[in-house]
Structure 1
Amino acid sequence: MDDFEALANAVALEGRTVLDVGCGDGAFVRALRGAGADALGVDIDVTRAREIDPEGRYLTGGAQDLPLDDRSVDVATLMRSLHHVPDPHSAFPELRRVVRDLVYIAEPLPVGAFFELLRPVDDETAVRAEAQRAIQASGFEPVQTIEYDVVLHLDRLEQLRDRVLAADPTRAERYAQEEENLRERFTPGAYPIPMRVDILRPR
């Protein structure tokens, strides 16, 4: 199962206003629009999203300060983005303010072969755990929890490097320092990434 399939199976999208928080290059916004949603994205830098998708709706802002009116979206999605918020707890007052119906949070868990392979370059154990604590303390009503694996197929170490640096170019120096270590530990094959989804409703 991939991330969008998990969302589409769980939440009605067509005809609804859906906000993707931490939209990156806008890939998820484009997928939402393709599924019939009135989609928009927010991120601290939406330059790349606007270049790729000039017809899309992209706003500059952070999860803790959403540039949107009160109760202006039906659904908000946070796809692997909550653990990147400096204080993930600060996202929930804003989500409560702008969301009418559901918040859909998909977070990678700090377990599994891919996580262990990448840990020397970027150990996200603490930030992922804090994101889970923020979800539990959010004050939102839990609606559903979904767990699934996204399977990443890596035939060459270079594919790992490309993925790591595309997600965060600032990792380049650290990656170079650890490359020989990674090469010794790398085995071509399938790397499952365990995911947890929490679907929440503002109380």
Structure 2
Amino acid sequence: MKLQTAQLFTILSEYQFFDWEDHENNKHLMMIGLPENTLEIKGFYQSFGFDSVENPFSNIKISKKQWVQMEDLFFPWVSPYLSTFGQTVVTPFLSNDWEGECDLDDIMDDEFAHAYKAYKAFLINNDLYVHGPALIETSRGYQIDHIGDFSILGRMAARNHRYLFFADEDKVFMFTDSLTLQMYCKDEEVLHQEKKKIKQMLHPDFLS
């Protein structure tokens, strides 16, 4: 469900613990990745992440097909944990630019196309994809309606789109271009609770 700007700001006002300007001030941090024994690419988390795709200068070579396979591992793996959240909203860092640097009107027919087409359909269905003059400003926020929304948005985040997710007034998180989940918690107690839950549900590698 798209959010009006006033609605979004009202929700975000409950996240005073999060420092937008300097992430180093957000002390209660964790970053998780897929368990090492599930990785199909050896040393994946020592690579340049998405910047390694089709990059001859990368320390670890990753093809587009391999990257999609990693996405197909990561998002179904992390989704059960995300499904435990109550209200979750997402914003492209308060901008209304949901398309980012990707031209969704000119999608290449390659291994990446399926996710881009799914994302474009998601934006259109939620009235977040507006080209040309509009009487009403495109929304800067969206409330997650379905667990599948995380995968659609997360795949774009892993491909260098920038989103912030806000959950239950005590967690702020993002998906990175290295296929990790990076989370800032309200305090040490919340961090401890979430780590415990994650260990029980996902058995991840804690990267931070």
User: Taking structure 2 as the reference length, what is the TM-score of the superposition?
Assistant: 0.25
- The structure with higher relative contact order (CA 8 Å, sep 6+) is 2
Q: Which is richer in strand?
A: 1
